[in-house]
Structure 1
Amino acid sequence: MMTRAFRTAAVVGAGTIGLSWTALFAAHGLTVRVSDPRPDLDEAVTEALTRYAPHLAARGLDVTGLADRVRIAADVTEAVRDADVVQENGPERAEFKRELFATLTREAPAHALLLSSSSAIPSTAFTAQLPDEAAARVLIGHPFNPPHLLPLVEVVPGARTGEDAVRAAVDFYTSLDRTPVVERVEIPGFVGNRLQNALSREAVSLVQQGVVTPEDLDRIVTDSLGLRWATVGPFLGAHLGGGPGGYRHLVEHIGASMQSLTDGPAPDADAQERLIGAVEKAYGSAPYAELSETRDRRQLAVLDALSETTGTTTPKEEN
């Protein structure tokens, strides 16, 4: 199957996320048409392109003539008329998106990929009224703010999204040097925001209980978990935390004590074994020494980058 060509993008909704998408799309050579009812749209787009251009240049992109590739559209119809891809960034209300996507599927070309930056609402919640052929090209492309810098995009198909659209979305975001991750089960908040929300709930609780101050809690995260998660995720980090024995060793030795921190029953043995097996399948084939060396090298790179703004220095690894 041929890869789709993406030449023209429509950005519908020019808040913080929409403006960031606009700069990223334009920096990758797309013609971008922006629509938003805000009265200062022209000024907001100009200011965003000026502010984000150095960020994009630092990532190796040619930002010469960036503004020349962006057009202000009079309305949604004009913005999407010739679009190969539409990135919607409207209010987080299902009814609003329901009405908007009815317009998008009617006014955009039949080949246009229709993506929503929705933070929590699955696309099935606002596409039920659409005919099958229209719903087939609608799905979630949820970024993290700001999308011109943070690479992750959660690609979440709806109940009637076609596989062609899923593949096209992955191709599109990959062409922008993003990291698309396909999530096959629709769940409110998707994965990233559910993880973020879980940590936020515990952070609020700890501060409200007087266990720690807000600034010290932030310091705990930035000087431990934040640094670790910049280089490895929770499961790879736990796998390495088990040493050469990996995730299985970690669960066997501290699993019970960690479970005591969590409300609810402990996972049954079969579920626990399935989880261990999944982690071992993901990471068990690589030697512990190789994985840990990569983690440590990346960790030092992060610490060195942070030291440039704090004035501190990080000990270098010896050769």
Structure 2
Amino acid sequence: MVGTGAIGVSWAAHFLNHGLDVVASDPAPGAEDRLRDGVAEIGADPARLTFTADAGQAAAAADLVQENAPERAEVKHALFAVLDEAARPDVVLASSSSGMLPTEIARAATRHPERVLVGHPFHPPHLVPLVEVVPGERSSEAATDAAMAFYASVGKTPIRLRRELPGHIANRLQAALWREAYSLVDRGVASVADIDTAISQGPGLRWAVLGPFANQHLSGGPGGIAHVLEHLGPPTEAWWRDLGHPVMTPELERKIIDGVDEELAGVDPAALARYRDTVVRAVLAAKKEFDT
């Protein structure tokens, strides 16, 4: 585990809770104490957790490396040069990058670029099952298959991208929603709170159970998605043409910030996060019950 910020702490707790030994590395002062406190707060036993400030030392001891450094190319390149030098040749080097291309990340891995790929979790990794496995131009099938098998073995739901794109899949879908949400605020169509309500009390409830295509299929009744496309295809195209193209101006940023402040006035952020995580756990438990 290389990099022990919020994502690294969550990953570490998840791996520990699935019986793995974790060797963590982070050069920041106080990183070990924050990591141990965070892991314990999530509910993982830190007894099988060791720490070193030396990323190469951590990689040399690893059967898989999960990297969680800042989203800056120069940081990734410097780090992957070290990891590629230290790790055994068969060890997958997976980046948690939320948007960078694995081909770009692998440029620094001159010895074994074939074992570099993206293993992008969805925050928080100890709770949300999704992992996007993204091979780059030089990633091998063996490394990709190993990553898919590893994530599945620790209770994740991995999906493999057939082509690398900035932002992968889930973040691009989120970005599409955010673009229109920001546009609606910018145009004065709705408040920040109303948009949050529109999703959390509307389609978001269905999206927590089934994805967009399966939900659209069900909305078509006996005719399924074929019926939906026949009758709502042209109107949907018209809506697409009318979607906004907001620009992140200081004025729009201020509207968003003020809207969130108004929506969450008096709400404790830590309590809100606990509420979110508790409900997500309940949804996951219900899905598991009905899926079996």
TM range (shorter): 0.7 to 0.9
Residue equivalent to 1:75: 54
Greater Cα offset, 89-98 or 115-124: 89-98
- Is 1:46 the counterpart of 2:36? The answer is yes
Alignment-mate amino acid for residue 242 of structure 1 = G
Partner SS state of residue 167, structure 2: coil
What displacement does 1:262 show?
Answer: 1.1
Distance 1:74 1:207 in 2: 45
SS at match of 1:231: coil
**2:187 maps to what in 1?**
209
Which residue identity is paired with 1:229?
A: W
Task: Determine the structure 2 residue equivalent to 1:190.
Answer: 168
Q: Which residue of 2 aligns with 1:226?
A: 204
Q: Which residue of 1 aligns with 2:287?
A: none
Question: Tell me, what secondary structure is at the counterpart of 1:250?
Answer: helix
User: Which one has a larger percent helix, Structure 1 or Structure 2?
Assistant: 2
Do the aligned partners of 1:120 and 1:190 also contact (CA within 8 Å) in 2?
yes
**Aligned with 1:193: secondary structure?**
helix
- Contact 2:219/2:228 (8 A) holds in 1: yes
Aligned: 1:138 with 2:128:
no
- Partner residue in 1 for 2:143: 165
Deviations 1:270-312 (A, max 9, x none): xxxxxxxxxxxxxxxxxxxxxxxxxxxxxxxxxxx85x99xxx
Aligned to 2:154: 176
User: Does 1:34 pair with 2:27?
Assistant: no
TM-score, normalised to structure 1, is: 0.74
Following superposition, the deviation at residue 179 of structure 1 comes to 0.2
Deviation at 1:109, TM superposition (A): 1.6
> Is 2:96 aligned against 1:106?
no
Gaps of 5+ in 2: 243-277, 283-292
What SS class does the counterpart of residue 128 from structure 1 fall into? Answer: helix
Bigger drift between 191-200 and 104-113 goes to: 104-113
Name the structure 2 match of 1:16.
6
Aligned residues: 246
Offset at 1:129? 4.7
User: Which structure would you say has the larger Rg?
Assistant: 1
- C-alpha contact (below 8 Å) 1:95/1:126 kept by paired residues: no
Query: Unmatched 5+ residue regions in structure 1?
Result: 1-10, 54-62, 265-304, 310-319
Shift of 1:97: 1.0
RMSD: 1.7
The aligned amino acid for 2:131 is: V
8 Å Cα contact 2:98-2:171 kept in structure 1: yes
Q: Deviations over 1:42-81 (max 9, x none)?
A: 221122112111xxxxxxxxx5xx2110011131122112
Match of 2:72 among 83, 93, 118: 93
Q: Does 1:152 find its partner at 2:133?
A: no
Q: Distance in 2 between matches of 1:208 and 1:27?
A: 44
Q: Distance in 1 between matches of 2:234 and 2:5?
A: 46
**Rounded Cα–Cα distance in structure 2 between residues aligned with 1:75 and 1:128:** 21
For 1:161 and 1:24, the matched residues in 2 are separated by: 25
Equivalent position amino acid for 1:186 in 2: E
Of 122-131 and 157-166, more deviation after overlay is shown by: 122-131
Matched letter for residue 75 of structure 2: F
User: What is the TM-score normalised by the length of structure 2?
Assistant: 0.81
String of CA shifts for 1:20-42, please: whole Å, max 9, x gaps: 00111111111111111121112
